[in-house]
Every structure is written in structure tokens, then in C-alpha cells.
Chain A
Amino acid sequence: MKVAVASGKGGTGKTIISTALALAWGRTALLDCDVEAPNAHLLIRPEITGREIVTRLVPRVEEELCTHCGLCAEFCRYHALAVLPKRWMVFDELCHSCGGCQIVCPTDAIVESSRPLGELVTGHRDELLFVQGILNNGETQPVPVIREVLGRSPEDRDVVIDSPPGASCSMLTVAAAADIVLLAAEPTPFGFHDLKMAVRAIRELGRPMAVVINRSDWGDGSVRRFCDDEHLPVLLEIPHLREVAEGYTRALPLTQSAPHLTPDLIRLRAKLQALITEAAA
């Protein structure tokens, strides 16, 4: 099964939970799809065995062929092109690599050029397979990098995905590729609002959901009530534990900083599996 661990906002223990599940379940894969701020490696500490550049195609012009007719810019719905009487300009950061400008150009003046977008890092820690996507600084399109990471998802084992936070297009790309979405929630009013947004977006996708409440002894219980009202199964509540906070600052995964939670984490696997089966029925 593929489990996406998501959250309404960052800092709700999403990475602590995804790494802990992957480590507790044994032969798994952890895909870090939080490509704008990947940090699962800090807790997994994998041995890195591969690094590849992820590129995407952007248009360039052969000036001597360009008549500055402007058809390409007119076609580009992302306004990534500007055609002036004597200049042809492209704004790579706006381009979505659709290739359309090249097709509409009547003089074949446009050529495709590949541009680095990010990196794909692979490695392992014992039996755990690790894949991480990194979006280069200044790039604004995480989705192609996320798709590359998801493309490395193995079929022979359970896969835990550290999803991007929030109800973004990135998060939904990950949720759509998963069998179930496990939301890491925190009972603070701010996190609560973001959680509602994420739940709404994932529900529209039709993916089953479950919740882990982190620091469950904080707040006024409204997150718990929300989950009950929305029929969101709360599979685990982790109270605020000093050893977890300390472990995190020392880059220790939950399985090491609070080993007494490991049986709960292992049981979570069967519960998720049951929810997937139920949703499919």
C-alpha cells in the first residue's frame, strides 16, 4: 500500500510520523515529496547511492528564423513569452513546458532546451529504500520533481510518502498517487483551519483519509471533535513527550526517541490497510 502523510500546515509532525512509520514497518520505501523543504533524510540518515538532475524543457528562439509575428506569445496561456518588434523573450519561471509555442510557430524558429529544475536523490538505510526530490532554489514548479519521485515508487513493498504541506497542487499530486492519506494534525487553532482545508481538498479527490493527532494533550479538543463530526478515523494520538522533542533536535527518529510507541506504529499499518479495503468495497 501507498500511504501519503500530509498535514494542513508545516510543523505538525508530518515528517516525524512518516519517517517513524517507514522505520517501524521494516521493509518499506520512504519517498520525500516535500521537495521545497525536504528533511526526512535528517531523521532517516540514509546512505546515499544516487543523485540525478531533474530537468524540464523550455523554449529558445533561433533569432534568424523568427519573424516576431507574436503567435507563440499569443498562444502561451502562462504569458511566459513576450514578442516585441525586435526582441523575443522567454521567462523560464513562468513556462509550464507544454511545448505549444513550438508547435504554433510558423517558421520553426523555436527549439527546446533543457533546464535543471531539481534533483532526485536515492539511497537506503538497511532495508528501507529512500527517495528524495529537491526543487532548486528559485524554481516555482515543484510538481514535475514530485512526479519523478513518485515514479520511483517500488511495487514490492509498502511505501510511505512525506507529502508537501497544505492544500496545494503539490499535496494533491501526492494524494492522488496514494491509496490513503494520513493527516498529521496538531490541536492548535491555526493548524485546525489548515487541516479543514486539506480535508476538503482530499475528499474531493475521493481518497480515504485517517488522522494522527500529535501533541494530543494540548488544545481544547476541537480537532478531535472535528474528526469525529467528519467521520475521520483517528488512528493514533501522540501526547507531547519531552523525549520526542529532544530526540528531534538531535535528529533521532521517533522509533529511537520514543521506542515504546513502536507497537502502536506497527498496528497502524493494519488499520490503514483495513480502511483502504473498506473504501474500495
Chain B
Amino acid sequence: MKVCVTASHEGIDAPVDDRFGRAPYFVIVDTETLETTSIANSTVNESHGAGVSSATTVAQSGAEALVTAHCGPRAFDVLNAAGIKVFAAQPGTVREAIEAFQNGVLTQLAEADAPAGGLRR
């Protein structure tokens, strides 16, 4: 299956970025083949609605699961509607996140854990 991890760079060795709507890249990894596609997030610098369009991007990528953190309520609604399960990321690389996902050690988020509009840094 395809799993999406939010990251600060392209590629499977990129560090995980935990702000869903504002992560610079969505790295989509096929858990069988480790084939990787990186999609640039076009809404990193937008103040509103970044989560909604990011969630749509992830849904269009064909991913069935998303590893990230600080996902806002609107993004969560869209991901839910698309049937994408959301898992809490831990610090590390995309590769480590995928391994943790496959080992079943990541916690599935049952609800949004960030305010609408996202966290600012």
C-alpha cells in the first residue's frame, strides 16, 4: 500500500516535518517496493485552508495512510472522507517512519490534534 509522510525535503531519507498543512513535501512511499514519489506542497505559505488542499493532494496521490502530526480539524475531515487513516509521526526520517508504520508501532489519530489554520513557527 501507499503511505504518505510529511517531510521537509524530497526523498525517502528526508526528515519528517510534523506540520501537516505546512510541510514542504509529501513523500509517498510504496511499502512493498519502497518506490518513492515526492510532491511539493503548494500551500506552505498560505494562511488559510492549507490543510484542506493538502489533504486533497494526499487523497489524489492514492495514499491510504498518512504519517504526520498536528493535523487540523478541516484537513482531518477531508482525510476521513477520503478513507485515509492518520498516524502520529515521531522524529526521524521518512524511511524510519515507514518502518515504524509497518511494525505497527505508530498510534492512529482518532481526531484532529491541531487548531484550524495550523500551528505557526
Contact = CB atoms under 8 A, between A and B. Distances in A.
A226 interface: no
A84 B59 contact: yes
A91 B49 CA distance: 9
A87 B82 CA distance: 8
A109 interface: no
A80 B48 CA distance: 9
Contact of A80 (B43, B50, B52, B116): B52
B77 A94 contact: no
Contacts of A83: 56
Contact of A79 (B43, B59, B77, B82): B43
A82 B48 contact: no
B49 A78 contact: yes
A79 B52 contact: yes
Contacts of A94: 48-49, 52, 74
A89 B49 contact: no
Nearest to B52: A79
Contact of B56 (A78, A84, A93): A84
Nearest to B75: A82
B42 to A, nearest CB: 10
Interface string A60-81: 0000000000100100001111
Interface in B36-80: 43, 46, 48-50, 52-53, 55-56, 59, 74, 77-78
A31 to B, nearest CB: 28
B81 interface: yes
Contacts of A89: 77-78, 81
A91 B52 contact: yes
B46 A79 contact: yes
Interface residues of B, number: 16
Contacts of A84: 56, 59, 78, 81-82
B71 to A, nearest CB: 14
A173 to B, nearest CB: 18
B28 to A, nearest CB: 17
Interface in A82-129: 82-85, 87, 89, 91, 93-94
Interface in A27-71: 70
A89 B80 CA distance: 12
A80 B49 contact: yes
Nearest to A88: B81
Contacts of B46: 79
Nearest to A79: B49
Nearest to B77: A89
A84 B43 CA distance: 18
Contacts of A80: 49, 52
Nearest to A94: B49
Nearest to B84: A84
Nearest to A76: B49
Interface of B: 43, 46, 48-50, 52-53, 55-56, 59, 74, 77-78, 81-82, 116
27 contacts: A70-B56, A73-B56, A78-B49, A79-B46, A79-B48, A79-B49, A79-B50, A79-B52, A79-B53, A80-B49, A81-B52, A82-B52, A82-B53, A82-B78, A82-B81, A83-B56, A84-B56, A84-B78, A84-B81, A85-B82, A89-B78, A91-B52, A91-B74, A93-B116, A94-B48, A94-B49, A94-B74
Cβ-closest 6 pairs across A and B = A79-B49, A82-B78, A79-B53, A79-B52, A87-B81, A84-B82
